[in-house]
A and B are shown apart, each in its own frame.
Chain A
Amino acid sequence: MKKSLYILACLLSFSLLAQKKNVPQESDFYEIKTLPIPKEIYLEIGGIATLPDGKLAVSTRRGEIWILENPYQLENHQVSYHKFASGMHEILGLAYQDGVFYCSQRGELTKVSDVNRDGVADLYEPVYQFELSGNYHEYTYGPVFDKNGDMWVSLNLAWVGFGEGKFSKWRGWFVKITKDGKLEPFAGGLRSPAGYSFNADGDLFYGENQGDWVGSGRVTQLSKGDFAGNPGGLKWAKEPNSPFKLTLEEIPDNGNPMYMAAEKVKNLKLPAVWFPHAIMGISTSDILQDTTGGKFSPFPGQYFVADQGQSKVMRMGLEKVNGVYQGFCINYREGFQSGILRERFGLDGSMFVGMTSRGWGSTGKDEYGLQRLVWNGKNPFEIKDIKVQKGGFVLSFTQPLNEASVNKLKSYALRSYIYKYQHQYGSPIIELKNLPIKSIRISDDKKQISMELDGMRRYFIHELKFPGLQSASGDNLLHETAYYTVNEFPSNDIAVNTWKSIAMEEEKAKKNDVVLEKPKQDKKTTGLISESVAQELLKKHTCVACHAKDKRIVGPAFEEIAKRKYTDQQILKLVYKPNPANWPDYATEMAPMSHVPAGDVLKIAKWINSLGNRKELENRD
């Protein structure tokens, strides 16, 4: 009797606690507002321009420019759509300046005007005509205006089983075009440069898609004459007005990381931040620095990088070390309705997110969409910023930390790795190493910690995961993992010697964790895991970003994979070394996931194969 009472009390207190402590979600802070789209409009958004009169202009892959009234949905949820221009060829960028629109069609940078001011475009003038070979993959993005009023356009490579730029001039390049149509090539080595922008300092950043010569998604800052890594467009480096000379033969193709190639190829520009493939997106698109002065997010000055395939917005924090940009990326908000191609700030500091997934696929299941990302002013518990030190990092947080969580080793999972630089599509993670903690200090306000780590490596991605860190009020981090790319080490560290040194908890705890992390098991006798365990594993290893049980997302449904009747071992092999040719109907190739432990993959494989059996059982009379 006594015992059962005790249990009841425990349950009560636990449930009370649970009621009090809802686990914070992204949506508790960063709200997504959906703009309704009339059914007959295919708003496959390729460009967005915020208009000063409170309207919004969007351009579409079907070649139209729509002007939306009441896009902020102030009193009325409905938005009014007006077709301003039409008939253009897949407009993947839109800008508005001095009362006229500038947009990129496949073969032309076009100025679109309404001369008689009746609200419908009546003049379509070429600012510049681009060459095209007729290959569909020669996408044209832009323009983005710089401070001088010049326009920047990025030119996608053709796809012929690999990225190829030789068919049409300046494919694989960033070009600058003046309003009177003078073109200046600026930087080369691009593959699929769907999104780019200037930061407040006027520096150009662009997002690259994983693919050939691109081991993983990334953001790179480009200066004139930089070569961003894909040699598909190097034919044009021979042109007299090319800002650099380089040939394909000079590019090492030995599978070593990109930084090693950069030792030989002097203008090969390393990314400011790597976005680990399938974890931090699969197809990096637009980039926008938060210049809203605190309206858009709790992270003014930081960057918001969209991903087309994973329908999410990530956050990127940069610092300049020895004159070189570098920094971290971390998740910010997932769950958008379709594949995000464009981000633009509205007049109120919220962000319009323009989407399309036709032919490309995305986690968001809609074919297209338009949403707005709004911060509701509440303060989430997040990693605010990360600065690199000579031998570690200093992290700041949006809320004071619970010191008791800081001193636990299990609050940290730190490691580093890099990708190959090669002509093959994508890359597995290579040179993976754990980063042992040497010491931790905490600032007086408990909002910063410094970590001294063993084995920091220049040019590597440092995966910083804090599964146990808690705020003083007991919340876990909204996003516990950041990925910092170290290009440079500073000559001077931030002074932290006055900060309190944390004595880390016993080894015992660590051992327990290790046991928890890797329970002993015999691979041969791995049993079938339950649906919920499977889902947990799939989530943990980010499989769910591209696959679902019974529907196609970016990749095939698990039930479809089950139909192939691969053995568990074959699935393991394919997870580690995917063969995109097996799934020719899928636009996005799968990344090698060789960092996922074999034990977990085999469990998943067995579960996948069980889906096929279940279907057969269900179909049995």
Chain B
Amino acid sequence: MKRLYFLLLFVSFSSLAQNQIALNDLSAFDSPTKNWTIEGRAKGNISDSLLQISMGNGILVNTLRQGKYHREDDLKFKLNHGDIHFKIDFMLPKGANSGLYLQGRYELQLFDSYGKKSVKYNDCGGIYERWDEKRGKGNEGYEGSAPRVNASKAPGLWQHLEVEFQAPRFNANGVKTQSAIFKKVILNGVVVQENVIVSGLTRGSLFDKEAAFGPLMIQGDHGQIAFKNIWYETYDLPSVQLGKVRFQVYEGKFPDYQVGNAKVVQSGDLDKITQKAIDLRSDFLTKFDEDIEVPATDTYQFKTNWTGSGQLFVDGQLLNKGASWYTQSIYESIKLEKGTHHLQLVYAKDFPWGPKSLGLSIKRVGAHWVDVHERTSLPDPEAVGMIELKAESEPVFQRSFTFHKGIKKTHVISVGDPSGIHYSYNLKQGALLQVWKGKFLNVTQMWENRGEPQTSEPMGVVLDMDGKFPLVVDHQNQLDSLEAKDLVYKGYRIQHGRPIFKYDWKSTGLQIEDYILPNAEGTGLLRKIKIVGASPTKSNVQLIVSNATDFAELNSNMQSANSNEYNVKWEKGTAEILKLGNHQFQLRLPLLGEEFNYQIIW
């Protein structure tokens, strides 16, 4: 009877285990003060210490309405969580300070650390210190963990945070057996913390004791802040229970998985599935059979990894099959009723190279992955040290292949700057591919071994650009790409260590010089496109500053693009914003004089 009660409880949890919090009202929060409101839009310039708020819904804002903050202005979620994975977008005005308290106890710092050269535990993405008066004055704080790098974006732009947190564990007597762990903190796409153990409470904790559960809390007493897109998953539901494993090995090559009359050369029982049980190195087919206990009717996701080929059957139904390499995970989902279910995993390897590898894991929403395989059944990945190209004392440029929107571009140059502001550029199209801040370039995939991918990757907070040639004439549509015989690449000359790209634009009779460098403030990139030559079309040249899902005006020569993902700012001319489709806008500028001049700020 008691058991049934628990089950019912869990079922009611299930829908809440994975949730996007709808910010239409404040119902997700526990007694919010008046400072917290639901609004439609927030925006702000880099130098603004207050955000501009417009009415509507979808975002959560803490505004300075009562003039002074109090402890009760901290915002508690109704969600009481243990282990949790959450994603959240936040926007800070200049100088703002807030924090996210996991379980109301362990603070992850949110702070306007924009532009800081070095960062500490109290910067954005830092794990704030524990506190102990007994350590003596000035030494009370300890065990803070600085973010690996400063991955902050500018005030007034939406920033993205993703956190995986493991709650502390307690034994039956309530004694802590394992401290809480920030498994992973990703700020604006950059991993800033990984598997950091926190031994106790942050000073501003809601509680004076650690516990298995607690409410998520946002610190609301230090300045304005906005949030949106709050998503989370908790892991408190029971998942599958594993049974005993029986296995049978057949020797030979079985390309269609049919063992026919082949004899079983090895068989036995195992606690868990493992390829290590197979004596043969290759040329075998092994069947693993196992009954699992499913705790509740729900959708279950199955992940398999193998080197060779395999099949996974659930209750005789084929869930996935095929040839693969162990580093590749294949996911399939199936709805299972509560009760006992039969798994059959078939693993065949008919080539001798590569290590035998076999993995099977099961996931239920609201529960952690359960490994059906023995840990050692999957080999460790190769230990390849990273090769980092640094731009420390002077600008650095490097050609490579680069993926852009999933396509490998082959004539790409990446330019790094000691100021920490970098970009990649497609030489064939005279086009920006990506811009980023932080460290410069990971070239491991190019300079390790043969470098089969031959790609480089940015190391920092990346903005994807549209990758298109930015000029048009006579109000024409922008082309996805220009032909090499129209846009003739003429190379680059180096000025103050930075390249200036040159093109002959045949169809217009114009020459172009494209110069991209960090802006004076260090907040982004300045791009100067000089139009050289006399041609009747010259007066009709337009610059496409940006293609975005939307624009929000910050002032007459500055717009925020893609829902405040980045800002663009230009020197002269009146912008024309074209609506190309749903969530497709284009910002154009006319040529005044000889040169376009605009900035991308993030």
**Residues of A that sit less than 8 Å from B by CB:** 42, 61-63, 86-90, 105-108, 110-111, 115, 120-126, 129, 132-134, 136, 358-360, 579, 581-584, 587
Over the window 338-360 of chain B, the binary record of Cβ atoms lying under 8 Å from chain A Cβ atoms (1 yes, 0 no) is 00000000000001111000000
CA gap between A587 and B484 in the complex, in Å = 35
CA gap between A120 and B499 in the complex, in Å = 13
B309 on interface, CB distance cutoff 8 Å = no
B3 on interface, CB distance cutoff 8 Å = no
Chain B residues with Cβ below 8 Å from A111 are: 491
CB neighbors of A among B350-405 (8 A): 351-354, 396-401
Contact in complex: B451, A359 (CB < 8 Å):
yes
**Could you jot down 27 A-B contacts, CB within 8 Å?**
A63-B398, A86-B398, A87-B396, A87-B397, A87-B413, A88-B399, A89-B400, A90-B451, A90-B454, A106-B410, A115-B493, A121-B494, A123-B492, A123-B493, A123-B494, A129-B411, A129-B489, A132-B401, A133-B410, A134-B410, A134-B454, A136-B452, A136-B453, A579-B352, A581-B352, A584-B353, A587-B450
**Residues of B that sit less than 8 Å from A by CB:** 351-354, 396-401, 408, 410-411, 413, 428, 447, 449-454, 484, 489-495, 499
Closest B residue, CB atoms, query A44? B447
Given contacts A88-B399, A115-B493, A124-B494, could you give 20 more A-B pairs where the C-beta distance is less than 8 Å? A87-B399, A120-B494, A121-B494, A123-B491, A123-B493, A125-B491, A126-B490, A129-B484, A129-B489, A132-B401, A132-B411, A134-B401, A136-B451, A136-B452, A136-B453, A581-B352, A582-B352, A583-B353, A584-B353, A587-B450
Chain A residues with Cβ below 8 Å from B410 are: 106-107, 132-134
Contact in complex: A581, B411 (CB < 8 Å):
no
Closest B residue, CB atoms, query A133? B410
CB distance from A194 to the nearest CB of B (A): 14
Interface majority SS on A: helix, strand, loop or mixed?
loop
Chain B CB within 10 A, most for which of A129, A136, A359, A582: A136
Find A124's partner among B352, B400, B451, B491 (CB 8 Å cutoff): B491
Find B490's partner among A90, A125, A587 (CB 8 Å cutoff): A125
Contacts A123-B493, A126-B491: A108 and B411 contacting too (C-beta < 8 A)? yes
Contact in complex: B450, A124 (CB < 8 Å):
no
CA gap between A581 and B351 in the complex, in Å = 8
Find A63's partner among B399, B489, B495 (CB 8 Å cutoff): B399
Closest B residue, CB atoms, query A131? B410
Chain A residues with Cβ below 8 Å from B408 are: 134
CB distance from A291 to the nearest CB of B (A): 34
CB distance from A365 to the nearest CB of B (A): 16
Chain A residues with Cβ below 8 Å from B493 are: 115, 122-124
Contact in complex: B447, A62 (CB < 8 Å):
yes
The 9 A-B pairs at the shortest CB distance, nearest first, are namely A359-B450, A125-B491, A132-B410, A89-B399, A134-B408, A87-B397, A359-B449, A122-B494, A584-B353
Closest A residue, CB atoms, query B443? A62
Closest A residue, CB atoms, query B454? A136
Closest B residue, CB atoms, query A87? B397
CB distance from B567 to the nearest CB of A (A): 29
Contact in complex: B353, A582 (CB < 8 Å):
yes
CB distance from B495 to the nearest CB of A (A): 8
Chain B residues with Cβ below 8 Å from A359 are: 449-451
Chain B residues with Cβ below 8 Å from A86 are: 396-398
Contact in complex: A581, B353 (CB < 8 Å):
yes
Chain B CB within 10 A, most for which of A125, A134, A582: A134
CA gap between A202 and B489 in the complex, in Å = 33
CA gap between A136 and B494 in the complex, in Å = 28
CB distance from A469 to the nearest CB of B (A): 43
CB distance from B431 to the nearest CB of A (A): 15
Chain A residues with Cβ below 8 Å from B495 are: 122
CB distance from A165 to the nearest CB of B (A): 16
Contact in complex: A358, B454 (CB < 8 Å):
no
Chain A residues with Cβ below 8 Å from B454 are: 90, 106, 134, 136
CA gap between A121 and B408 in the complex, in Å = 28
CB distance from B500 to the nearest CB of A (A): 10
Closest B residue, CB atoms, query A127? B491
Chain B CB within 10 A, most for which of A63, A110, A583: A63
CA gap between A88 and B443 in the complex, in Å = 13
Chain B CB within 10 A, most for which of A107, A579, A581: A107
CA gap between A63 and B397 in the complex, in Å = 10
Chain B residues with Cβ below 8 Å from A121 are: 494
Chain B residues with Cβ below 8 Å from A88 are: 399
CB distance from A498 to the nearest CB of B (A): 58
CB distance from A59 to the nearest CB of B (A): 13
CA gap between A582 and B495 in the complex, in Å = 52
CA gap between A359 and B449 in the complex, in Å = 4
CA gap between A129 and B396 in the complex, in Å = 22
Chain A residues with Cβ below 8 Å from B399 are: 63, 87-89, 105
CA gap between A105 and B398 in the complex, in Å = 12
Chain A residues with Cβ below 8 Å from B449 are: 358-359
CA gap between A305 and B352 in the complex, in Å = 36
Closest A residue, CB atoms, query B408? A134
Chain B residues with Cβ below 8 Å from A90 are: 451, 454
CA gap between A134 and B455 in the complex, in Å = 9
CA gap between A480 and B433 in the complex, in Å = 59
Contact in complex: A358, B411 (CB < 8 Å):
no
CB distance from B415 to the nearest CB of A (A): 8
CA gap between A350 and B451 in the complex, in Å = 33
CA gap between A359 and B397 in the complex, in Å = 24
CB distance from B492 to the nearest CB of A (A): 5
Chain A residues with Cβ below 8 Å from B397 are: 86-87
CA gap between A341 and B495 in the complex, in Å = 33
CA gap between A63 and B489 in the complex, in Å = 20
Closest B residue, CB atoms, query A168? B410
Find A126's partner among B351, B413, B489, B499 (CB 8 Å cutoff): B489
CB distance from B489 to the nearest CB of A (A): 6
Chain B residues with Cβ below 8 Å from A584 are: 353-354
Chain B residues with Cβ below 8 Å from A110 are: 491
Contact in complex: B450, A358 (CB < 8 Å):
yes
Chain B residues with Cβ below 8 Å from A123 are: 491-494
CA gap between A408 and B352 in the complex, in Å = 50
CA gap between A400 and B399 in the complex, in Å = 57
Closest A residue, CB atoms, query B493? A123
CA gap between A359 and B450 in the complex, in Å = 4
Contact in complex: B492, A124 (CB < 8 Å):
yes
CB distance from B581 to the nearest CB of A (A): 30
Chain B residues with Cβ below 8 Å from A42 are: 447
CA gap between A358 and B491 in the complex, in Å = 29
CA gap between A88 and B446 in the complex, in Å = 12
Chain A residues with Cβ below 8 Å from B351 are: 581
CA gap between A62 and B491 in the complex, in Å = 19
CA gap between A558 and B362 in the complex, in Å = 42
Chain A residues with Cβ below 8 Å from B489 are: 126, 129
CA gap between A129 and B428 in the complex, in Å = 9
Find A87's partner among B354, B398, B428, B452 (CB 8 Å cutoff): B398
CA gap between A582 and B354 in the complex, in Å = 8
Chain B residues with Cβ below 8 Å from A61 are: 447
Chain B residues with Cβ below 8 Å from A62 are: 447
CA gap between A108 and B397 in the complex, in Å = 16
Chain A CB within 10 A, most for which of B428, B451, B452, B491: B491
CB distance from B354 to the nearest CB of A (A): 7
Find B411's partner among A63, A107, A120 (CB 8 Å cutoff): A107
Closest B residue, CB atoms, query A579? B352
CB distance from A214 to the nearest CB of B (A): 19
Closest B residue, CB atoms, query A88? B399
CA gap between A581 and B490 in the complex, in Å = 44
CA gap between A126 and B399 in the complex, in Å = 13
Closest B residue, CB atoms, query A108? B411
Closest B residue, CB atoms, query A583? B353
CB distance from B197 to the nearest CB of A (A): 36
Chain A residues with Cβ below 8 Å from B353 are: 581-584
CA gap between A90 and B446 in the complex, in Å = 9
Chain B residues with Cβ below 8 Å from A63 are: 398-399
Chain B residues with Cβ below 8 Å from A106 are: 410, 454
